[in-house]
A and B are shown apart, each in its own frame.
Chain A
């Protein structure tokens, strides 16, 4: 078993019309044994910026704290909020510092730029970024998620339709993966704020 599949997990982020959605499952497992069904993998860094971390759970939690710390330092020094683009660059550099002994995570940065347009990036474990205009996925069920998102995504979805699409894509994907699932949470971010919903999912 690979180190990236040790704890399991699945994250999708999608873009809509001046909004983004980011969703993850909430399982924490140790190989095939499920240990928790309320494990957070998507973190709110600011009202317009979310970070999703899939991979080894200890690195998920460590990186979240580390990035929150770095972001706070930035905002103290710069006296302005950190843009998603700058945050993604920071994350990329933090990961590359550990080039020969990396964090075992696949991060997703999802946010809204100052002009309201969506910003989506996913990276590998050493920080190579991949910008996307439609959707990004990370975790153990990526083939399933790509199949769902590629088919269901369309341009210009408003927040309610984006929520439905994102939820269906995530649920169908994790139901065919043994080490993801056990609950799901979806965040939809618009210029007016964040709406968080928990999905009723199969508990197996």
Chain B
């Protein structure tokens, strides 16, 4: 920390006004300091803070980066997420998964604050186990969708910082994608992208998947073609978004199970 001499130097540097800067991970604060004995007369229990107030701020949230994408088809759902974990401008890991299979028919993809994402997954796993115990069958995808919404809303006034996308096959075997906000509002959509790279991907999906603003005939896409589109989309997001890169983990969900594909991206 600081010695007497360096403190005196710092005080002089600020033109003799009694302020000592301290640097923390939350930013810089200036503490009121007097090194003379005249502080005796100001011996109140709050150590003079009321006379010289300063503010410290702690944010419980941190954005750990990443992008997720999910697309539904007639009998499949494709869900993908990059594998980079970052904090500020630093990369903490190049190989962390954002995808979590809740049942063998549905996968949750979450970007946001990693600790909140991990806790949310634990809570969902437990609640899903309880359901399977009570109903003697695993949860269907629309039921998981509702469960996730309710779980998020329980924390309405101190939310989970997680941008979720749920993908799976519904009870008829058709692909289902649900997109969420942080407090549980959800909707079944043909595709969904969330996280730091969502602005780069959503217009592309509008054009290629929903066929908007196009005059040529819309043809139905199989899962292999959709996976190629997803790879292209993540190459784009990896180029233009600093928080997206390293690799993409893709899962293809059909009524027969989940197929995993790993695709490397630029590591810059």
Contact = CB atoms under 8 A, between A and B. Distances in A.
Nearest to B233: A151
B212 A144 contact: no
Interface stretch (A18-26, A49-57, A169-177, A190-198): A169-177
B206 A143 contact: no
Given A150-B240, A168-B213, A176 B207 contact: no
17 contacts: A144-B200, A146-B200, A147-B203, A147-B236, A147-B237, A150-B239, A151-B232, A151-B233, A151-B236, A168-B207, A172-B206, A172-B207, A172-B212, A173-B203, A175-B213, A176-B202, A176-B206
Contacts of B201: 147
B115 interface: no
A144 B199 contact: yes
A62 B28 CA distance: 43
Contacts, number: 56
Nearest to B207: A172
B213 A172 contact: yes
Nearest to B205: A172
B204 interface: yes
A175 B204 contact: no
Given A143-B200, A150-B236, A176-B206, 4 more contacts: A144-B199, A147-B202, A151-B232, A172-B206
A94 interface: no
Contacts of B240: 143, 146-147, 150
B214 interface: yes
Contacts of B204: 147-148, 151, 172
Contacts of B239: 150
Contacts of A150: 200, 236, 239-240
Chain A interface size, as a band, is 10 to 19
A151 B236 CA distance: 6
Nearest to A174: B203
A18 B206 CA distance: 30
Contacts of A144: 199-200, 202-203
CB-CB nearest 4 A-B residue pairs:
A147-B200, A143-B199, A172-B203, A172-B207
Interface of B: 197, 199-204, 206-207, 212-214, 232-233, 235-237, 239-240
Nearest to B202: A176
A171 B213 contact: yes
A148 B205 CA distance: 9
Q: Is the interface of A mostly helix, strand, loop or mixed?
A: helix
A17 B110 CA distance: 42
B212 A175 contact: yes
Interface of A: 143-144, 146-148, 150-151, 168, 171-173, 175-176, 201-202
A163 to B, nearest CB: 13
A81 B118 CA distance: 63
Contacts of B197: 147
A172 B200 CA distance: 11
B236 A176 contact: no
A134 to B, nearest CB: 11
Nearest to A173: B203
A180 to B, nearest CB: 11
Nearest to B214: A168
Contacts of B203: 144, 147-148, 172-173, 175-176
B200 A175 contact: no
A183 to B, nearest CB: 13
Contacts of A143: 199-200, 240
A147 B212 contact: no
A148 B133 CA distance: 47
Contacts of A146: 200, 236, 240
A49 to B, nearest CB: 28
Nearest to A168: B207
A155 to B, nearest CB: 15
A147 B207 contact: no
A1 to B, nearest CB: 18
Contacts of A148: 203-204, 207
Nearest to B197: A147
Contacts of B237: 147
A150 B266 CA distance: 15
B107 to A, nearest CB: 24
B201 to A, nearest CB: 6
A171 B202 CA distance: 13
Nearest to A176: B203
